Amino acid sequence: MFELINKVKEINPLVIHYTNEVTINDCANITLALGASPLMSYSNEEVEEVVSIASSVVINIGTMNSSRLDLFVKAGKAANKFNKPVILDPVGVFATKTRTDFTNKLLNEIKFDVVKGNVAEIKFIGGLDVRGQGVDSFDDGEDISEVIKKIAKKIGCIVVATGKIDFISDGNTVIKIFNGTSKLKSVTGTGCMTGSLIGSYLGAYNNLEGRERDNFKKVEAVAMGVLTMAVSGELADKDNISIGTFKEELMNNVYEMNIDKLKEYGRIE
């Protein structure tokens, strides 16, 4: 599945983002760093046009901007209409009833290919009790393989839960990623950026010709997005590095990521 990183660079998929204002610049830059093309739009008028030319669509509710809720629904529906892979990042879904209701609306009206959140967000969507504060979550590193498999079956799409261990499941198999560093929680938007990476891989995967696509599973394309962030973060976190430099090194490592590094450093089950 590591081969997929070269496919991103060859295919240069166009990843449309409907996202929050906090991390929008970092999401654009990490998409470029991996070798894909970002397009950010806040236009109601061009939704169908941009989605129709997209390789994938990322929807991220981070700031819950009142004037964009309808746009996000419209974008998701357009993705379904044009058969484009669409990823949901339900940031802070447990934090307010407003976020919970809007996430449910999105899940009801749109068929997502991936729902990606931190462990608390995904558990909450699965109907479990969570402890969180604002949009951050507590995570004790427990193995939630069975839980996430059930949630993936229930929602009917691939589910990603990031944390000390990252879990990716399509309802049948579970991929666990043990890479990472706690510093990823001290930079805003590393979760959002993971969504951009997933969008990039999934966009490339979707553009593969039938026979070539059979070499990979869709769940692997999704896992590659998570793995690229986790390994890049781990490699960026050197002795005594401080957080501003870590953020720069994270971007550096995504830009320089390749098959050899993924093979050498990736810890997957």
41 binds a second copy (CB under 8 A): yes
Whose tokens are 């499941």? That residue is: 169
CA Rg, the chain, in Å? 17
Q: Is 189 assigned to a binding site?
A: yes
The β-bridge partners of 166 are: 177
The β-bridge partners of 137 are: 132
63 binds a second copy (CB under 8 A): yes
Cα 147–203–247 angle (5° rounding)? 75
For residues 8 and 55, is the Cβ–Cβ distance under 8 A?
no
Q: Please pick, from the candidates 65, 80, 173, 181, the single residue that binds a second copy as defined by CB under 8 A.
A: 65
Residues of span 177-196 touching a second copy by CB under 8 A: 186-189
Structure tokens at 234: 């781990």
Q: Please pick, from the candidates 2, 82, 178, 255, the single residue that binds a second copy as defined by CB under 8 A.
A: 255
Q: Please pick, from the candidates 4, 7, 26, 161, the single residue that binds a second copy as defined by CB under 8 A.
A: 26
State the minimum distance, in angstroms, from the CB of residue 183 to a second copy: 10
Closest by CA position to 121, among listed 77, 60, 56: 60
Annotated binding residues for ATP, written as ranges, equal: 116, 162
The residues binding a second copy (CB under 8 A) are 12, 14, 16, 20-26, 28-29, 32-33, 37-46, 49-50, 53, 62-67, 71, 92, 95-99, 133-136, 186-189, 242-245, 247-253, 255-256
